[in-house]
């Protein structure tokens, strides 16, 4: 498991809520692993990981990386869920109940770490003797409210120890998908342009750190321009289309997931579990976790095969699916959940549908919602991220008030039909391509997705577990009054009017950290 990799080798690279027990509640070393008990009981377990620069960086406590590792022992699946740091949320962190802060989600940890920079007056829940504990708790609350996921455990570290962690395992091997250059923060107010060549690359700690942190257009910060034979170069290399594609938070999240998998594989080979207490103590200033070491890590290691048996999902929440982007307030470029955020929460609660995915049935999406094809495009991406391998988008079609699903497999897609019927509240359709399933997205699907009307996912699924691992399928999303992820400046259109459909910006403007 990924988290075994993190906790097994100095607790990892990212961070999150940490309890007052400090490094992992070492007192539970000789007792039963609570995490192992949850998994044995069939509970879905969510582990929040965050990454931040640390004291020697600009914006030291703004979380560069936010990821949830979700483990489902019912369907035997694992998901890496990346949350963009530019997502705008309303943060309730203060003793005055009428006071809140509308900021990017990466500020949640920083508010409790440096409350004096945000006007002070923290609520007692977030005032702790070690500020990291309260900061992790606040990040937990904010991210949990946005996603609808209950956070069970947390691992945290600043980037100050990242390179040493990677070097201690002998580096990692990553298959870089495309050649690109990227600008990366380096210390206080410093920048470097990093170059990565396509193919398998062995990376030491410093190189891996640049790989997971970079998100600004090559040479936009360093200005390392040169010319050769009339061609403008950046750091000695020609510009490529990949340079623009990689200059985003979304691309960085994908790189981080590639690193996590490579790091997991390396750490598992080393079998470092036995050395956890000594390693963790050596890095106490940089690493904190509320997992027991090595108890919980051993439980994860023993369940490694089962938790990945039916696939590892790589989930990216972005402005091409469940978020939309705007520059609509003092926070500059921000991302917001579409509608009330109910679609985001329902989707994450319903990620694990292994019985349906294992049928390997082609799914044809038809957009009869009136969105002009944008809704079917979003759902093609989301269903593919769930593990469905044969999803096609037929684009817009004549309008339909209701969503319909038709089976052309002769009864060989019962789980797939069951999941789509339940999640989309679909009615039976008239026809489907032979050997496949056709899902016609009606206007009701548009309303639930973009305007926060009736939620998809309120019924029982085909066999996946709910957010708490009961195995009964997706659960209803909270009502708008229960949510804290509405963005505080763009979460819903006025009067229930459908929001603009998502659009991906080529490169966000420069921001701190």
Least confident of 421-435, 451-465, 482-496: 482-496
Least confident of 44-48, 174-178, 370-374, 507-511: 507-511
Residue 377 tokens, joined? 């495009």
Q: How many of the other CB atoms lie within 10 Å of CB of 397?
A: 14
Helices vs strands, H then E, count in the chain: 16, 23
CA 362-427-383 angle, to 5 degrees, is 35
pLDDT at 235: 85
Three-state SS at 403: coil
Q: Is residue 509 part of a domain?
A: no
Q: How many of the other CB atoms lie within 10 Å of CB of 119?
A: 12
120 and 242 belong to one structural domain:
no
pLDDT over threshold 60, residue 307: yes
The more confident residue out of 305 and 340 is 340
DSSP state letters, 239-290: --HHHHHHSSHHHHHHHHHHHHHHHHHHHHHHTGGGGHHHHHHHTTTTEEES
Residue among 364, 359, 377, 366 nearest 437 (CA): 364
19 and 112 belong to one structural domain:
yes
Name the band, by pLDDT with cuts 50, 70 and 90, for residue 412: very high
450 neighbors 444 (Cβ within 8 angstroms): no
Digit-coded pLDDT (tens) for 357-371: 999 999 999 999 998
**What CATH number is associated with residue 299?**
3.40.630
105 and 63 belong to one structural domain:
yes
Residue among 502, 392, 398 nearest 439 (CA): 392
Residue 28 tokens, joined? 């539970």
Three-state SS at 361: coil
230 and 375 belong to one structural domain:
no
Handedness of CA 133, 135, 141, 146 (dihedral sign): negative
**pLDDT > 70 fraction of the chain, expressed in percent and rounded:** 75
Residue among 78, 72, 90, 83 nearest 16 (CA): 83
Name the band, by pLDDT with cuts 50, 70 and 90, for residue 188: low
pLDDT at 474: 28
Q: Which of 282, 297, 316 is the last residue of a domain?
A: 316
Residue 289's domain comprises 2-161+251-316
Q: Which of 226, 248, 270 is the last residue of a domain?
A: 248
| Domain count within the chain | 3
> Structure pTM?
0.75
**Distant-in-sequence, close-in-space partners of 282: CB < 8 Å, separation ≥ 6:** 10
The more confident residue out of 283 and 502 is 283
Three-state SS at 183: strand
Handedness of CA 397, 407, 462, 79 (dihedral sign): negative
CA dist., res. 436 & res. 416, Å (int): 10
Edge-first strand order for the sheet with 225-228 is 225-228, 231-234, 237-238
Q: Is residue 503 part of a domain?
A: no
Three-state SS at 38: helix
Q: Is residue 166 part of a domain?
A: no
Residue among 320, 387, 323 nearest 359 (CA): 387
Edge-first strand order for the sheet with 312-316 is 287-289, 153-158, 45-52, 63-72, 77-82, 312-316
Digit-coded pLDDT (tens) for 204-225: 999 999 999 888 888 888 888 7
332 and 464 belong to one structural domain:
yes
Three-state SS at 324: strand
> What 3 state SS string does 417-477 have?
HHHHHHHHCCEECCCCCCCCEEEEECHHHHHHHHCCCCCCCCCCCCCCCCCCCCCCCCCCC
452 and 471 belong to one structural domain:
yes
372 and 487 belong to one structural domain:
yes
328 and 351 belong to one structural domain:
yes
Q: For residue 444, how far is the Cα from the chain centroid?
A: 27
Across all residues in the chain, what is the average pLDDT? 78
Q: Which of 207, 223, 248 is the last residue of a domain?
A: 248
Handedness of CA 420, 424, 426, 431 (dihedral sign): negative
The more confident residue out of 22 and 37 is 37
Name the band, by pLDDT with cuts 50, 70 and 90, for residue 189: low
Q: For residue 10, how far is the Cα from the chain centroid?
A: 22
pLDDT at 265: 80
Residue 186 tokens, joined? 């380096």
Half-sphere exposure of 496 (CA within 13 A, CB side): 7
Digit-coded pLDDT (tens) for 43-59: 999 999 888 888 877 78
């Amino acid at each position: 498991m990924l988290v075994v990799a993190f906790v097994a080798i100095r607790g990892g690279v990212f961070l999150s809520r940490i309890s007052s027990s400090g490094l992992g509640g070492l007192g539970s070393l000789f007792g039963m692993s609570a995490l192992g008990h949850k998994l044995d009981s069939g509970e879905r377990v969510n582990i929040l990981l965050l990454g931040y620069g640390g004291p020697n960086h600009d914006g030291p406590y703004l979380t560069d990386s936010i990821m949830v590792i979700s483990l489902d022992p019912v369907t035997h699946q694992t998901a890496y869920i990346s949350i963009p740091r530019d997502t705008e949320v309303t943060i309730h962190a203060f003793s005055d109940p009428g006071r809140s802060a509308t900021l990017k989600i990466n500020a949640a940890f920083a508010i409790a770490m440096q409350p004096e920079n945000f006007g002070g007056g923290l609520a007692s829940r977030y005032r702790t003797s070690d500020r990291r504990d309260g900061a992790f708790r606040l990040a937990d609350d904010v991210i949990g409210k946005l996603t609808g996921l209950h956070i069970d455990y947390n691992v945290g570290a600043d980037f100050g120890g990242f390179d040493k962690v990677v070097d201690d395992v002998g580096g990692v091997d990553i298959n870089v998908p495309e050649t690109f250059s990227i600008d990366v923060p380096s210390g206080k107010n410093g920048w470097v342009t990093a170059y990565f060549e396509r193919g398998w690359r062995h990376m030491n700690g410093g190189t891996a750190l640049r790989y997971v942190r970079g998100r600004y257009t090559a040479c936009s910060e360093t200005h390392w321009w040169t010319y050769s034979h009339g061609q403008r170069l950046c750091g000695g290399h020609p510009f490529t289309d990949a340079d623009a594609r990689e200059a985003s938070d979304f691309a960085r999240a994908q790189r981080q997931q590639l690193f996590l998998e490579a790091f997991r594989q390396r750490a598992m080979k080393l079998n470092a579990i036995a050395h956890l207490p000594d390693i963790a103590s050596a890095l106490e200033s940089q690493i904190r976790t509320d997992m027991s070491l090595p108890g919980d890590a051993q439980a994860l290691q023993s369940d490694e095969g089962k938790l990945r048996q039916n696939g590892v999902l790589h989930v990216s929440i972005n402005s091409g699916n469940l978020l939309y982007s705007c520059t609509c307030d003092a926070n500059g470029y921000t991302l917001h959940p579409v509608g009330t955020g109910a679609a985001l929460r329902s989707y994450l609660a319903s990620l694990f549908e292994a019985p349906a995915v294992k049928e390997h049935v082609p799914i044809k999406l038809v957009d009869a919602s009136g969105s002009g094809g944008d809704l079917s495009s979003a759902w093609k991406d989301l269903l593919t991220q769930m593990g469905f391998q044969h999803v096609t988008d037929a684009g817009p079609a004549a309008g339909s008030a209701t969503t319909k699903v038709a089976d052309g497999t002769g009864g060989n897609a019962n789980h797939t039909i069951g999941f789509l019927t339940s999640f989309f509240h679909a009615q039976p359709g008239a026809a489907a391509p032979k050997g496949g399933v056709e899902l016609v997205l009606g206007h009701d699907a548009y309303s639930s997705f973009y305007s926060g009307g009736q939620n998809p996912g309120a019924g029982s699924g085909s066999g996946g577990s709910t957010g708490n691992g009961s195995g009964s399928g997706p659960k209803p999303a909270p009502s708008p009054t229960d949510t804290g992820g509405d963005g505080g400046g763009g979460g819903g259109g006025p009067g229930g009017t459908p929001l603009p459909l998502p659009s991906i910006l080529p490169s966000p403007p420069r921001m701190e950290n």
